[in-house]
Amino acid sequence: MLPISIRPVLAPALHERERSMPEPLLTVRDFSVVYDVDPPVEAVKNVTLELQRGEILGLAGESGCGKTTLAYGVQRLLRAPAVITGGSVTFHDASGVDVDINSLDTEEMRRFRWDKISMVFQGAMNALNPVATIGAQLEDVFEVHRPDLSRRERRAASAELLEIVAVGRERMRSYPHELSGGMRQRVMIAMALALRPQLMVMDEPTTALDVLVQREILRQISQLRHEFGFSVIFITHDLPLLLEISDRIAVMREGEIVELATARELWERPRHDYTKTLLASFPRLTGERGILVR
Ligand X SMILES: Nc1ncnc2c1ncn2[C@@H]1O[C@H](COP(=O)(O)OP(=O)(O)OP(=O)(O)O)[C@@H](O)[C@H]1O
Alpha helices in the chain (DSSP H): 7-19, 67-73, 106-116, 134-145, 151-164, 181-193, 211-228, 239-245, 263-268, 273-280, 283-286
Q: How many residues bind ligand X (CB under 6 A)?
A: 14
Which one of 16-24, 61-69, 172-180, 241-249 is the stretch in contact with ligand X (CB under 6 A)? 61-69
Q: Which amino acid is at 43?
A: A
Q: Are 175 and 144 in contact (CB under 8 A)?
A: no
Smallest distance, ligand X to C-beta of residue 117, A: 18
Compare residues 10 and 241 and give the one whose CB is closer to ligand X: 241
From the list 200, 104, 125, the residue with the least C-alpha distance to 167 is: 125
Binding mask 227-246 for ligand X (x = CB under 6 A): ----------x---------
Q: Does 112 participate in binding ligand X (rule CB under 6 A)?
A: no
User: Up-side HSE of residue 118: CA atoms within 13 Å toward CB?
Assistant: 19
One residue of 2, 14, 41, 156 binding ligand X per CB under 6 A:
41
Contact call for residues 163 and 200 (beta carbons, < 8 A) = no
The answer, yes or no, to whether the previous bond of 147 is cis (omega within 30 of 0) is no
Separation between Cα atoms, residue 54 and residue 16, nearest integer Å: 9
Q: Does 63 bind ligand X (CB under 6 A)?
A: yes
The continuous run of DSSP H or E covering 103 comes out as none
Contact segment (CB under 6 A) with ligand X among 57-65, 140-148, 161-169, 222-230 equals 57-65
- Amino acid identity at 162: L
Quick check: 81 binds ligand X (CB under 6 A)?
A: yes
Binding residue (CB under 6 A) for ligand X from 45, 67, 215, 248: 67
Q: Considering the rule CB under 6 A, would residue 39 count as an interface residue with ligand X? A: no
Considering beta carbons, is residue 71 or 194 the nearer one to ligand X?
71
Q: Which stretch binds ligand X (CB under 6 A): 37-45, 119-127, 128-136, 183-191?
A: 37-45
Answer yes or no whether residue 137 interacts with ligand X by CB under 6 A: no
* Binding positions for ligand X, rule: CB under 6 A: 35, 37, 41, 43, 61, 63-69, 81, 237
